[in-house]
Amino acid sequence: MTRDTQHVLLVLVGGVLIKIVLDGSYLRYVRSWSATPVLVAGVVLVTVALVALVRDLRGPPPSGDHGHDLSHGRAGPAAWLLVLPVLALLLVVPPALGSGALAGFGARAAPAVVTPADDPLPPGEAPALGLLDVVSRTAANPHGPVTERDITVAGFVAPSAATPPAGATGLDLARLVISCCAADASAVRLHLADPTGRLSGVTPGGAEGDRWITIRGRIVGGTGTAADGHVPTLSVTTWWPIATPDPVYEY
């Protein structure tokens, strides 16, 4: 790979980093706080490449102490591997992780943030909670406030990862949680119980993508403990379809 090719490749890599920040697609891969470092990295790469390109166009640098011409440095074949992520982000635009990534994921066995057992629910008739928050609350107290009122949660429909408890439908409401980036993603789930038949006909998404829904219901007391893999059971009152949220992950 010639020096000119190296410069062009650096411009492409830096340009792609800038692009995914500006169009918001970086949220498919990292958390929102990463926007600044990703943008800065892109700007630095483009700047370094352009400065080096201008320097080379002005003429070769002087020879080194031993008379070696340093103007024709070449990168090894491994440098071409940088082309792959550039092409992937420019042409394919990999989507955020979804139900296809659940293989091998159980529930989050040890919630990252355990909500205090006596922490009250937000005000409202059926306050909106994240799935990680629900799992944390039941881990802290499986008979706590989260089991005493209706709540509203959102996620995508997936088959149960394990044998569902009595009364559950075999469907889970799931969400992926990331700490830093998509590479460390893990899953949180709720088993869905449907005593009034509200979920009749509801199935997981297929080739067209995940099926995202919002559910109003109540957590069944005593579920979501270590005994059931920290997967609480949600008794469904009603539900409605939603578009894929942005960001798609919980934190």
Residue 251, in any domain of the structure:
no
pLDDT along the chain (251 residues), means of 10: 77 87 86 89 90 79 48 56 71 78 57 63 93 91 92 95 83 91 86 94 84 97 90 96 91 85
Give the domain range for residue 42: 3-94
User: How many structural domains is the chain composed of?
Assistant: 2
For residue 216, give the CATH number of its domain. Answer: 2.40.50
Are residues 117 and 217 located together in one domain of the fold? Answer: yes
Residue 72, CB half-sphere, CA atoms under 13 Å: how many? Answer: 2
Q: Write the CA distances from 18 to 76, 79, 157, integer angstroms.
A: 26, 21, 33
Please check whether residue 248 lies inside any domain of the structure. Answer: no
The sign one gets for the Cα dihedral 235, 241, 247, 249 is positive
Same-domain status, 150 and 122: yes
Whether residues 188 and 88 share a domain: the answer is no
**72, 94, 116: which is the final residue of a domain?**
94
Q: Looking at the structure, do residues 88 and 110 belong to the same domain, yes or no?
A: no
My answer on whether 54 and 36 are in the same domain is yes
Asked if the structure places residue 65 within a domain, the reply is yes
Residues 85 and 106 in one domain: no
End-of-domain residue from the set 78, 94, 110: 94
Secondary structure (DSSP) of the chain: --HHHHHHHHHHHHHHHHHHHHTSGGGGTB-GGGHHHHHHHHHHHHHHHHHHHHHHHT-PPPP-TTS---TT----GGGGGGHHHHHIIIII-PPPP-GGG-TT----SS-SSPPPTTPPPPSSSS-B--HHHHHHHHHH-TTSGGGTS-EEEEEEEEE-SSPPPTTEEEEEEEEEE-SSBGGG-EEEEEEEE-TT-TTTT-----TT---EEEEEEEEPTT-SSGGGTS--EEEEEEEEE-PPPSS-SB-
249 lies in a domain?
A: no
**pTM for this prediction:** 0.77
pLDDT score for 108:
47
Q: What's the pLDDT at 70?
A: 40
Do 80 and 141 share a domain, yes or no?
no
Domain membership flag for residue 117: yes
Supply the pLDDT for residue 199.
93
Same domain, 195 and 86: no
Q: Are residues 231 and 109 in the same domain?
A: yes
Same domain, residue pair 82 and 145: no
